[in-house]
Amino acid sequence: MSNSLTLVLKDTDPTTTNAIRRTILSEVPTLAIEDVRIIENSSSLYDEVIAHRLGLIPIKTDLKLFNFREKCKCKGKGCPSCTLGLTLDVESKKEYQTVYSQDLKSQDPKFKPVEGIPIVRLGKNQKILLEAEAVLGTGKEHTKWQPATAGYKYYPIIKINSKCNMCKECIDTCPVNILKASKSKITVTDIKQCTLCNSCVEACDAGAIAVKGDDRKFIFKIESQGALTPKEIFKKACEILEEKAHTLSGLL
């Protein structure tokens, strides 16, 4: 499953597009470790460093099954509907052993840490034993709850007119190699890859090429950190914005 998603947003504007981006970064909730109880740590790292690293490990999240702790029926005391317990118990029998995120054992198999993230390297007979609790949060509270990175750019518009003398300077200058000589004209192979850098325009002495961005059409990219899929993140961001719009409409 890919952790990245590229969308083309049409008939919109920079304000709406940026609102979706900001909502993804700051308001789409995910699980992250908030509290850590170190029982034993004979590794080379301080307890605080271990706890910090644990907090940054993404945890698979199902927003339909999990509640914010402060909104839960348990009133913040911590229950299976709002708090996920995890344990880590590793003792190295080798000269060196790396402890990874998958060594964290979750009390609920539906909510597991994303695998492959190193936590600490243990020497022989060194041990780490701890208990942790993960809760829902949002990126505006702490970066560890940020579900993804997201960005957008104007959809490129590239026009090549009859002034083109096939000098091919624009082809040599393009940093993403999307211009190609085809018979008696220059063609664009993948317009979505254009960075709108205008290097080809500056290289064309004949003034045959023009590049600009469409301010009503955008290329939007999401790269998930693994707790939610990119589609889930985008859908949730749109739901949050829609709910805010209805709330604002009711106040008018």
The closest of 55, 48, 119 to 90, measured between CA atoms, is 119
Give residue-wise pLDDT tens across range 116-159: 999 999 999 999 999 999 999 999 999 999 999 999 999 999 99
Query: Considering the entire predicted model, what is its pTM?
Result: 0.90
Determine the Cα–Cα distance for residues 213 and 177; give it in Å rounded to an integer: 18
pLDDT < 70: residue spans in the chain:
1
pLDDT at position 1 is 57
What letter would DSSP give residue 93? -
Determine the Cα–Cα distance for residues 185 and 179; give it in Å rounded to an integer: 10
pLDDT at position 201 is 93
Q: Beta strands of the chain (E only): which ranges?
A: 4-10, 30-41, 84-91, 96-100, 105-106, 118-123, 127-137, 148-160, 179-182, 185-188, 209-224
Q: Which domains does the chain have, with CATH numbers?
A: 1-28+147-252 (3.30.1360.10), 30-144 (2.170.120.12)
